[in-house]
Amino acid sequence: MEVGGVVLAAGTSSRFEGGNKLAVELDGEPIVRRATRCLLRSRLEEVVVIVGFEADRIAALVEDLPVAVRRNERFSEGQSTSVRTGVDHAVDRGWSAAVFGLGDMPFVDPTTVDSLIEAHENSEGSILWPSFEGERGNPVLFSGEHFDALRSVTGDRGGRRLVETHPGSTPVPVDDPGVIRDVDRETDLD
């Protein structure tokens, strides 16, 4: 069962005061690069980064990493278009499941991704998400049976509706506060 990772990194950073948040450095490294390296340090077989807004700039920040990069030309229509682009890549590569990570979540521990993969291998659920102190976090693993449904999502919610309503949606408890820490504003970097 090949499980791959998708980094959603196509957004416009509309709430961030200092330009494109994905390019802002945190401890000397761009946020999107940190988020991508988390997936690379996990047991995932392969990682793809979905770029859109300032695509060339964001792609350049990960170009020396062993990842594929795919462009989402429709990024302005919301996160769902990046999810669809990621699903297309997953189907093209024959993945059995995909872990969707957010490019603005640089604090996730790779062991959390491994916990999701292990829960998938143990058939604990078809949608698996990390739970930290009872709070739902990211990244989220979707088994291949949900790829068609993910291709039909619209707007800026990505696969959230599936996570919230599908009976196969299952929390995986983790000791990783990074799963609930994203960067929307400059103060989130403090």
Catalogue all structural domains in the chain, each as residue range(s) with its CATH number: 3-189 (3.90.550.10)
14 pLDDT band (50/70/90 cuts)? low
In eight-state DSSP terms, residue 97 is: E
pLDDT in tens, 3-12: 999 999 998 7
Tokens of 124: 């604990």
Of 21, 9, 27, whose CA–CA distance to 81 is shortest?
9
pLDDT in tens, 83-133: 999 999 999 999 999 999 999 999 999 999 999 999 999 999 999 999 999
When mean pLDDT is compared across 73-77, 137-141, 143-147, the lowest value belongs to 73-77
Pairing of strands 68-71, 127-132: unpaired
Q: Which sign, positive or negative, has the C-alpha torsion 136, 3, 159, 71?
A: positive
pLDDT in tens, 27-66: 999 999 999 999 999 999 999 999 999 999 999 999 999 9
Look up tokens 């990772």; give the residue.
Answer: 5
The span from the CA of 120 to the CA of 125, in Å, is: 7
